A and B are shown apart, each in its own frame.
Chain A
Amino acid sequence: MNKEYLGEFEELVLTMVGILQEEAYGNAIVNEIKERLGRESNLSAVHVTLYRLEDKGFVKSGMGGATNARGGRRKRIFTITNAGMAMLRVMKESRIELWKLIPQLKIVGF
């Protein structure tokens, strides 16, 4: 595996960007995480993570259209790059590889 490494939260956010497609912006991701995983996340943390992912080249961003709902401000829409997709795939596969190595049906007793 290459040197780039994704933290757990980074991976989660990156996945959400992949899921939300054109609707991937800060607030939407916070809501999506809450909806799908029931996990509270902080808006600023999500933003910082997104910028970090952008630095690493896993997502790219551009300004979307304005809506009235946001006081006329445009959304910064993030889209996942090929590198980001590849990264997610590699991580998923390596997890499965590792998962397979755990002996299944083992009774864990006290």
Chain B
Amino acid sequence: MSKDDSQPPRLAIAFLQWFCPPSLYEGISGDLAEEFEEDLSKDGISVAKRRYIRNVFRFFRPGIVLRNNFVIELIASDMIVNYLKTAFRNFLKHKSFTALNITGLALGMAASLLILQYVKYERSFDSFHSKAEDIYRIQYNGYNNGKLSFECAAAVPAVGPALKNNFPEVKRFTRLYPVSGVISYESPDRGLISFKEDKMQITDSSVFEVFDFPLVKGNKLTVLEGPNKAVISEKAAKKYFGDTDPIGKTIAWDGRRKFEVTGIFKDIPANSHIKFDFMLSYQTLNRETNNESETAWGWYDFNTYVLLEPGTNVSVLQAKWDNYLEKTRGESWKKYNSRQEFILRPLLDIHLKAKLLQESQPEELGDYDSVYALTFIALFILIIAWVNYINLATARSFDRANEVGVRKAMGAQKNQLMYQFLSESFLMNMLAAIIALVIVRLAWPAFSTLTGRNIPTDFVMQAEFWIMVAGLFAAGTVLAGFYPAIILSSFKPIAVLKGKIMQTKQGNVLRKSLVVFQFVASVVLISGSIIVYMQLNFMRNQDLGIDINQKLIIKGPGATDSTYASKQESFRNEVLRISGVKSMTSSSNIPGDEIFWANGIRRLVGGPESTISGYALAIDYDYIPAFGLKLAAGRGYDRNYTNENKNIILNEAMTEALDFADPKAALGEKVIHGRDTFEIVGVLENYHQMSLKETVGPLVFRFSPDNSSFYVFKIEGNHKEILAAMEGPWKTFFPGNPLDYFFLDQFFNRQYEKDRQFGNVFSLFTGLAIFVACLGLFGLASFLTLQRTKEIGVRKVLGSTVTQIVMLLSKGFIQLVVIANLIAWPLAWWLMDRWLQTFPYHITINPLLFVAAGAGVILIAFLSISMQTLKAARSNPAQTLKYE
């Protein structure tokens, strides 16, 4: 038997050595060897070998293997103190670099924390309902002539019951019908308290089963049972009842309908897509409409929500439901050549993805694209800051090369050096994170105002926020620290200590491409924010076709009885006597106010086969002149004609929709709007009833001064004096009605509020991104200039001028920024063009804009490096060359 044969199998030994903790290896392998020898003498070589292998595998168990880590930690922790100490000394030695890095990282982190918090809030809408995942809103798509004519957030009242009664997956449904009016309460001690309320909903009592709107007082099963019951919010309770108990008290809606207060609900959270202060029982509506509000298939004002069984496959349900609709409604659709679609849309998607007609809070709706654009900007700023760290750390690697050489000569392993440089990046990121937290805390109120979202500050208490902080911190440490750590730890000690260290070409290319990346991001952001502002300006300054300046609006009292028309006329006469009041008109809607009144409209003779939906405004004699609207044909409503309520005025879009050859052809023709027939007496030129974010749709203008939600006054001079003068006649003719006023231009422009806020946030973070990028460029320039001190000295001795040297030093950087521009322009054009396409009326992008943005960035970049290059170019060569 040869010697080799009597040895344990080598592979098994190697395996043991690999997994076994070094400290245990000797004892274990000794024991195994002893057993092997025993087996060898007793049972022979093959048995012994087999047993040996089996035994080795038996040692491959957690109790042995896991002891490894413990050992490594022990070694590393010895050095950690030293690593941190060296890192600190290094930071102190290069204060300006440290400051640059920390500022950049801190700003990046703070920006991302702010934005992520905002994004989280935007995504939190409606998630406070415990069954939010299973709640769907019914979207109503109306088709005429096979063409989609509207997408509406409110459905018809019959949809809810039809879903619940025919599909077992639908557990419950609830409908909310928005109404407004004056609510009043006759207080025994404070007299009549009345306010105009815009946020009221007529609701099914199942609203409490579907949603989580907790009741403070009252039983959720009974509060909305029966007609004329009202449940009010805590805020409303305070407003009308002060500290007294509202339960059982009676409130009046527009003075006529009386409601008993049966419960109080907690105020609706800010992150709800639907808001209200009053819930009125649905049976009130059923009684008044003769049950129409249960069975109607054409009246679409009802925000309908269904609660599905958990785990329902919605697309299957949708298909079954579409079939059902086709079967039951098909015939009546054929009759009108129209079609109705009722689509189940997830509740949680409403805030960011739905932009339908008749939304509950249209001005609060978020925008999916802008939220994601912001997330990207946050990410960009962070990456730019990390790139700064990488660039500065690798550029300065020359400085650290000697240290690395000495450490390696003393026996440091490569991975130990990596730990060292990673712990430096750890420390840097930690300091940055602390500063970032301070910035977030200080900037929070300003940021809240800027975004227009009152985001609660309790996020500091939430674990999620801290996980985010830790995540950013860890990502920064590893992503920014890893590459420099690899570069620095791989220096060859012999070469380094001999002083033969060269900047690698690879490192240079990487650094340059990172700088290019930073400036691509900056140029895209800067041209993006310019375009956002240009589009906003365009929308604000575009001629609307309607005069909204110098208009004071008072919410009308609404018709209360048959004397209303004459009261209104007398009030008008009184008010027109006040100096400064040029005109008064009353109407159901004002520009910028979404129209909810819609009836089917078709021509009595000829025209399209199907009925189209005709959104309608009720106006009086003075509406057209008061708003400076232009007639394309015919006349406006006039006091000299009688029976104006048999006549109708259309806009041009409506005449086109009704297939009239031109506005003149429509005059004298008859149309059926709703149930009545009207003669067309005038056609208005198209004007923007809503913001420029929407196309001008077909409208009809019915003569109905009774239907006046708004009184519009054209005024001149001090509005306070005018209002004071109005108060007398108002109180005389409409006692008990609050005098709420506002200005039309402000009201109209609030439609752009969200876009303006987006523009502000966008440009703020653009500024930050550019600032951080320039910090990096500044640092890089100052370092590389420092390295060339001697070269500059020699050049000056040989006769170079300051300009030549500045140009020499700046050339490299400016080249990079120019390349960045060339990449950024098409990218920005593509991105912003996509954004602009979402507006029906938008600017076209002028290519010069990119050149301007690029030139701006180049200038900023040049300024940030010129400080360093100038200093170097001006230095006295005698001093720079003195030291060797």
Q: Which of A25, A48, A71, A74 has the most CB of B within 10 A?
A: A71
State the A residues within 8 Å of B (CB). 25-27, 30, 42-45, 47-48, 51-52, 61, 63, 69-71, 73-76
Are A25 and B63 in contact (CB-based, < 8 A)? no
Are A48 and B63 in contact (CB-based, < 8 A)? yes
Interface residues of B in 14-36 (CB under 8 A from A): 24, 26-35
Are B35 and A76 in contact (CB-based, < 8 A)? no
Collect the chain B residues with CB atoms within 8 Å of residue A44's CB. Answer: 55, 58-59, 61, 64
Q: Is the interface of A mostly helix, strand, loop or mixed?
A: helix
Collect the chain B residues with CB atoms within 8 Å of residue A76's CB. Answer: 24, 26-28, 30
Are A47 and B34 in contact (CB-based, < 8 A)? no
Are B37 and A43 in contact (CB-based, < 8 A)? no
Nearest-CB residue, chain A, relative to B56: A44
CB contact between B58 and one of A25, A27, A43, A75 (< 8 Å): that residue: A43
Are A63 and B27 in contact (CB-based, < 8 A)? yes
Q: How far is it, in angstroms, between the C-alpha of A61 and the C-alpha of B27 when the chains are bound?
A: 10
Are A26 and B27 in contact (CB-based, < 8 A)? yes
- Closest-CB distance, B366 to chain A (whole angstroms): 55
CB contact between B24 and one of A25, A51, A74, A75 (< 8 Å): that residue: A51
Q: How far is it, in angstroms, between the C-alpha of A51 and the C-alpha of B31 when the chains are bound?
A: 15
Q: Which of B28, B29, B55, B67 has the most CB of A within 10 A?
A: B28
CB contact between B31 and one of A27, A45, A52 (< 8 Å): that residue: A27
- Closest-CB distance, A63 to chain B (whole angstroms): 7
Q: How far is it, in angstroms, between the C-alpha of A74 and the C-alpha of B24 when the chains are bound?
A: 11
Interface size class of B (residues with CB under 8 A): 10 to 19
Q: How far is it, in angstroms, between the C-alpha of A73 and the C-alpha of B37 when the chains are bound?
A: 13
Q: Is the interface of B mostly helix, strand, loop or mixed?
A: helix
Are A27 and B35 in contact (CB-based, < 8 A)? yes
Contact sample, A vs B, 24 pairs, CB 8 Å cutoff: A26-B28, A26-B31, A42-B55, A42-B58, A43-B58, A44-B59, A44-B61, A47-B27, A47-B31, A47-B63, A48-B61, A48-B64, A51-B63, A52-B63, A61-B27, A70-B31, A70-B33, A71-B29, A71-B33, A73-B26, A73-B27, A75-B30, A75-B31, A76-B28
Are A27 and B67 in contact (CB-based, < 8 A)? no
State the B residues within 8 Å of A (CB). 24, 26-35, 37, 55, 58-59, 61, 63-64, 67
Are A70 and B24 in contact (CB-based, < 8 A)? no
Count of chain A to chain B residue pairs whose CB atoms are closer than 8 Å in the complex: 67
Nearest-CB residue, chain A, relative to B63: A48
Are A74 and B32 in contact (CB-based, < 8 A)? no
Collect the chain A residues with CB atoms within 8 Å of residue B58's CB. Answer: 42-45
Q: How far is it, in angstroms, between the C-alpha of A75 and the C-alpha of B24 when the chains are bound?
A: 10
- Closest-CB distance, A104 to chain B (whole angstroms): 41
Collect the chain A residues with CB atoms within 8 Å of residue B28's CB. Answer: 26, 47, 76
- Closest-CB distance, A67 to chain B (whole angstroms): 9
Are B31 and A43 in contact (CB-based, < 8 A)? yes
New contact pairs (15) apart from A27-B34, A47-B27, A52-B63, CB-CB < 8 Å: A25-B31, A43-B31, A43-B32, A43-B55, A44-B64, A45-B58, A47-B24, A47-B28, A48-B63, A70-B34, A73-B33, A74-B27, A74-B30, A75-B31, A76-B28
Q: How far is it, in angstroms, between the C-alpha of A45 and the C-alpha of B63 when the chains are bound?
A: 9
Collect the chain B residues with CB atoms within 8 Å of residue A43's CB. Answer: 31-32, 35, 55, 58-59
Q: How far is it, in angstroms, between the C-alpha of A30 and the C-alpha of B29 when the chains are bound?
A: 15
- Closest-CB distance, B606 to chain A (whole angstroms): 96
Q: How far is it, in angstroms, between the C-alpha of A63 and the C-alpha of B26 when the chains are bound?
A: 9
Q: How far is it, in angstroms, between the C-alpha of A26 and the C-alpha of B28 when the chains are bound?
A: 8
Q: How far is it, in angstroms, between the C-alpha of A27 and the C-alpha of B36 when the chains are bound?
A: 11
Collect the chain A residues with CB atoms within 8 Å of residue B33's CB. Answer: 70-71, 73
- Closest-CB distance, A48 to chain B (whole angstroms): 4
CB contact between A70 and one of B30, B59, B64, B67 (< 8 Å): that residue: B30
Q: How far is it, in angstroms, between the C-alpha of A73 and the C-alpha of B161 when the chains are bound?
A: 85
Collect the chain B residues with CB atoms within 8 Å of residue A42's CB. Answer: 55, 58
Collect the chain B residues with CB atoms within 8 Å of residue A70's CB. Answer: 30-31, 33-34, 37
Collect the chain B residues with CB atoms within 8 Å of residue A45's CB. Answer: 58
CB contact between B27 and one of A25, A30, A52, A69 (< 8 Å): that residue: A25
